[in-house]
Amino acid sequence: MERSKDWLYQAQGDLEHARSDLERGYHEWACFSAQQAAEKAVKAVFQRMGCEAWGHSIADLLEELSTSHRVPRELMDAGLELDKAYIPTRYPNAHPSGAPRSRYTGGEAGRLIEHAAGIIEFCTGLLPQVQ
C-alpha cells in the first residue's frame, strides 16, 4: 500500500514538534525531532517510488535517492549533520559525561530544524514527479 502522504504528514508534524521543543528549551529533543522529520520525508519519497526504505541514516537515504533524482549537495550535507542527532540526543552513555539535555544548544537545534525543513521542502516538491 502506498502511504507517502502519511509519511510526509508525520514528517511535518515532527518538524512542528521540533520547533515547539526549541521554544520550550528542550534542545536535545528538538534536534532528535528534526532528524525524525527529515528521515520520514525522505522515506515518503521511497514510498511513492514503491520502494521500502530501511535504516535511519538520512545521508544514506539521500545517497540512495540520488541514484534516480538529483539531490543538492547542501541537502546531502544537512543529512550528515542530522544523522548525528539520532542516538546521542537521547542517551547519556553516548557522551563521555553529562546528560543529553546539557549537550545541545538552541543554536544547534535551530540549525537542524532548518536542515529538516529544507529536506521536507525538497521531498514535497519531488513527490509529484515520482512514479
C-beta separation of 33 from 115 below 8 A: no
Q: Using alpha carbons, select from 10, 27, 8, 15 the residue that is nearest to residue 85.
A: 27
State which CATH number among 1.20.1250.20, 3.30.1490.390, 1.20.120.330, 3.30.365.10 fits the domain covering 4-129: 1.20.120.330
Other CB atoms within a 10 A radius of the CB of residue 20 amount to 13
| Tens-place pLDDT, residues 60-70 | 999 999 999 99
| Tens-place pLDDT, residues 82-106 | 999 999 999 999 999 999 999 999 9
| Tens-place pLDDT, residues 29-42 | 999 999 999 999 99
Report pLDDT for 128.
82
Q: So where are the chain's domains?
A: 4-129
Give residue 131's pLDDT band: very low, low, confident or very high (50, 70, 90).
Answer: low
- Taking residues 117-127, what's their average pLDDT? 96
Share of the chain above pLDDT 70, in %: 99
Residue 52 backbone dihedrals phi, psi, to 5 degrees: -100, 120
